């Protein structure tokens, strides 16, 4: 604010010196005042330095605000958990498009608003000192610009929010088409997808042109009222000069300063569009910002305090936090973030040193059991016991550091093979990484890749097959040395050779580790030492009570030791 005030004072001083120096010379060829012209360089240099300082402040604010917004978005994305529907559906739009629309509000609109609050006031005071009537005209015309800007802005805000919803919908649809390109080609749906995306693109183009039409309309209104204000000042000053002998220098000063009076207001009207886009982007983030935080943001501070306490010699880890781990789910009902029940009244136990396979029809809740052990779901009923200790949600979050989770479709990150293997164990040496690859049956990768661990993996596992991706994910879990390993359909889509290599690597993880996996293939079930059959709750309720093979309504499992 102070720098803007200094800039406004230098502005008035510059036009005052220019008008005092050149007005007598232009109107009556009186050159006695031209000596004042060189002094105008002082305000010019002062304005330049003030603008440079303002630019540095804006750049710093932009850096801080952008970093804060990105950090808050990432913290929110992490706190809502990996099962969030909002995160899955619009992650690219949230992190890229939304920030691009929000940042101009801080870097452009707020800066212009500060100019509009200070420069017109200083100019009005300067004009009032030499021509009160001209100051009155400017004072009366100035409120019309914000008034019509607000009236037009209400419609622009509605259109911007609609445009944001449309671009989010188009981005999601286009992403779905690209991710399911194989199915599109398989079912010959290319023409349908092209027509759909073209229709969404046209709709977004129409929405954008409507927003631009409002922006041009607002600019036209601002120019109209600014021009009217300057014209009225010129007319009144002309009559004052020729009829009442008003000083030429004062008249020129007012005419030079009048456009500067309206300029910040006009610029604010132009940047008001940035505010509308920011509000539309924030409306698109509403679902994410209001979503329940499954992992509170205070978790990091709590974990840091807990680790500090555990590292102290006077405090030893609780018995239930020490490996090996025996995990038991008792009458558990778990919900997804959208409120849908994943499992109902499930009971089962998982012992260390044994590979436990979860089998059952699709939709029975096998993957949800893994996500419950990992702490990704909300428990509405029942309890999770680890080494006999009933775990609270905070305890389950603490247990996450002991879990290696391999989903159905494991991901490798953009980077080298070494970077991906060291993701959970940054201190691991190259020898340990190579030993883990050979242990899981993926050692041939080191010979196939000429650059070995430095081999670069592209986006979306580019250059790596599905089976190799699973083997690398298993080697990553082995390097991390976690006592709990959760596997979701680990051998799906693998051929027999890759499956055998995977099972050989999995056998290396079973010693003193609690391994739980979802299995459908007979070879994987035969590999397990214990099998738990998970049945949907509805099927259990439909079983007749007079059959000796009927399962009780709770727990909703059938356990059997596999030979």
Burial 67-98 (b: 16+ CB within 10 A, else e): eeeeeebeebbbbbbbbbebbebbeebbeebb
Domain shared by 335 and 246, yes or no: no
Q: What is the CB-side half-sphere exposure of residue 504 using CA atoms within 13 A?
A: 14
Domain shared by 130 and 236, yes or no: yes
List the domain range (segments joined by +) for residue 52.
Answer: 2-289
Domain shared by 403 and 274, yes or no: no
Domain shared by 406 and 271, yes or no: no
Domain shared by 164 and 247, yes or no: yes
Domain shared by 106 and 209, yes or no: yes
Place of tokens 């940035």: 274
Domain shared by 102 and 217, yes or no: yes
Last residue of a domain, one of 289, 309, 343: 289
Supply the pTM of this predicted model: 0.59
Q: Does the residue 299 lie in any domain?
A: no
Contact 447, 365 (CB under 8 A): no
**In terms of DSSP H, where are the helices of 293-439?**
299-311, 366-374, 393-399, 417-421, 430-439
Domain shared by 114 and 226, yes or no: yes
Domain shared by 260 and 383, yes or no: no
Using omega within 30 degrees of 0 as the cis cutoff, is the peptide bond preceding 201 cis?
no
Q: Does the residue 389 lie in any domain?
A: yes
pLDDT score for 270? 67
Q: Does the residue 236 lie in any domain?
A: yes
Last residue of a domain, one of 289, 319, 354: 289
Q: How many domains does the chain have?
A: 2
Cα–Cα dist 493/476, whole Å: 20
Q: Does the residue 230 lie in any domain?
A: yes
Q: What is the CATH number of the domain that holds 379?
A: 3.40.50.300
pLDDT score for 547? 34
Q: Which two tokens stand for residue 302?
A: 């709590």
Helix (H, G, I), strand (E, B) or coil at 25: helix
Q: Does the residue 296 lie in any domain?
A: no
The pLDDT profile of the chain, 563 residues, written as one tens digit per residue, is: 788 888 888 888 888 888 887 777 776 776 777 777 788 888 889 889 988 998 888 888 888 888 888 887 777 777 776 666 555 545 555 666 677 778 888 888 888 888 888 888 888 888 888 888 888 888 888 777 777 776 766 666 677 777 777 777 787 788 778 777 878 888 888 888 888 888 888 888 888 887 777 767 776 777 787 888 888 888 888 888 777 778 778 888 888 888 888 888 777 766 776 777 787 677 767 767 776 666 665 555 445 445 544 554 445 566 677 778 888 988 888 877 666 777 888 888 998 888 899 998 887 888 888 888 888 877 888 888 888 888 887 777 778 878 888 887 788 888 888 888 888 788 888 888 888 888 777 788 888 888 888 888 877 667 777 778 888 888 888 888 888 889 888 877 677 777 777 787 777 667 778 899 998 888 888 888 889 988 876 543 333 333 333 333 333 444 444 43
pLDDT score for 187? 83
Q: Does the residue 98 lie in any domain?
A: yes
Contact 222, 266 (CB under 8 A): yes
Domain shared by 356 and 244, yes or no: no
Contact 278, 110 (CB under 8 A): no
Query: Three-state SS string across 64-105, please?
Result: HHHHHHHHHHHHHHHHHCCCCHHHHHHHHHHHHHHHHHHHHH
pLDDT score for 91? 58
Place of tokens 């360089």: 41
Domain shared by 338 and 278, yes or no: no
Q: What is the CATH number of the domain that holds 218?
A: 1.20.1560.10
Domain shared by 348 and 263, yes or no: no
Contact 347, 536 (CB under 8 A): no
Q: Does the residue 322 lie in any domain?
A: no
Q: Does the residue 386 lie in any domain?
A: yes
Helix (H, G, I), strand (E, B) or coil at 427: coil
pLDDT score for 301? 45
């Amino acid at each position: 604010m102070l720098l803007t005030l200094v800039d406004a004072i230098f502005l008035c001083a510059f036009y005052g010196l220019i008008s005092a120096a050149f007005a007598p010379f232009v109107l009556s060829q009186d050159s006695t005042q031209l000596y004042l012209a060189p002094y105008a360089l002082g305000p010019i240099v002062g304005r330049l330095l003030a603008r440079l300082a303002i630019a540095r402040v804006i750049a710093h604010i932009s850096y801080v605000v952008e970093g804060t917004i990105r950090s808050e978005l990432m913290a929110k994305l992490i706190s809502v958990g990996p099962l969030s529907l909002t995160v899955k559906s619009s992650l690219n739009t949230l992190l890229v498009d939304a920030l691009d629309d929000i940042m101009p509000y801080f870097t452009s609109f707020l800066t212009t608003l500060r100019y509009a609050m200070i420069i017109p006031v200083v100019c009005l005071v300067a004009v009032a000192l030499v021509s009160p009537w001209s100051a009155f005209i400017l004072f009366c015309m100035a409120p019309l610009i914000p008034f019509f800007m607000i009236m037009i802005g209400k419609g622009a805000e509605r259109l911007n929010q609609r445009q944001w919803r449309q671009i989010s919908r188009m981005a999601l649809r286009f992403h779905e088409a690209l991710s399911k390109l194989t199915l599109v080609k398989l079912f010959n749906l290319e023409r349908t997808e092209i027509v759909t995306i073209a229709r969404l693109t046209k709709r977004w183009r129409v929405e954008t042109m409507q927003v631009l039409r409002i922006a041009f309309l607002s600019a036209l209104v601002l120019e109209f009222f600014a021009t009217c204000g300057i014209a009225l000042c010129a007319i009144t000053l002309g009559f004052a000069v020729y009829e009442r002998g008003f000083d030429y220098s004062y008249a020129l000063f007012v005419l030079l300063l009048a456009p500067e009076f309206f300029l910040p207001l006009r610029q604010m009207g132009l940047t008001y569009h940035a505010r509308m886009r920011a509000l539309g982007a924030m409306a698109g983030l509403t679902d994410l910002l209001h979503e329940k935080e499954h992992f509170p943001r205070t978790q990091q501070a709590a974990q840091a305090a807990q680790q500090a306490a555990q590292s102290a010699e006077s405090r030893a880890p609780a018995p239930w936090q020490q490996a090996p781990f025996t995990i038991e789910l008792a009458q558990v009902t778990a919900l997804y973030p959208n409120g849908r029940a994943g499992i109902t009244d499930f009971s089962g136990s998982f012992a260390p040193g044994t590979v436990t396979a979860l089998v059952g029809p699709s939709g029975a809740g096998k993957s949800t059991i893994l996500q419950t052990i990992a702490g990704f779901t909300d428990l509405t009923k029942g309890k999770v016991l680890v080494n006999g200790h009933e775990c609270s949600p905070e305890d389950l979050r603490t247990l996450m550091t002991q879990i290696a989770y391999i989903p159905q479709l494991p991901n490798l990150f953009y980077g080298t093979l070494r970077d991906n293997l060291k993701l959970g164990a940054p201190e691991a040496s190259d020898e340990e990484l190579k030993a883990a690859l050979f242990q899981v049956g993926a050692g041939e990768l080191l010979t196939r890749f000429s650059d070995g661990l430095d081999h670069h993996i592209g986006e979306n596992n580019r250059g790596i097959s599905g089976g190799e991706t699973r083997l690398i994910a298993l080697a990553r879990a082995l390097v991390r040395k976690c006592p709990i390993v959760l596997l979701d359909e680990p051998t799906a889509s693998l051929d027999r050779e890759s499956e055998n290599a995977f099972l050989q690597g999995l056998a290396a993880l079973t010693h003193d580790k609690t391994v739980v996996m979802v299995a459908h293939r007979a070879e994987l079930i035969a590999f397990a030492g214990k099998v738990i059959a998970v049945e949907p709750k509805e099927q259990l309720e439909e079983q007749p009570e007079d059959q000796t093979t009927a399962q009780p309504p709770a727990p909703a499992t059938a356990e059997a030791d596999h030979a």
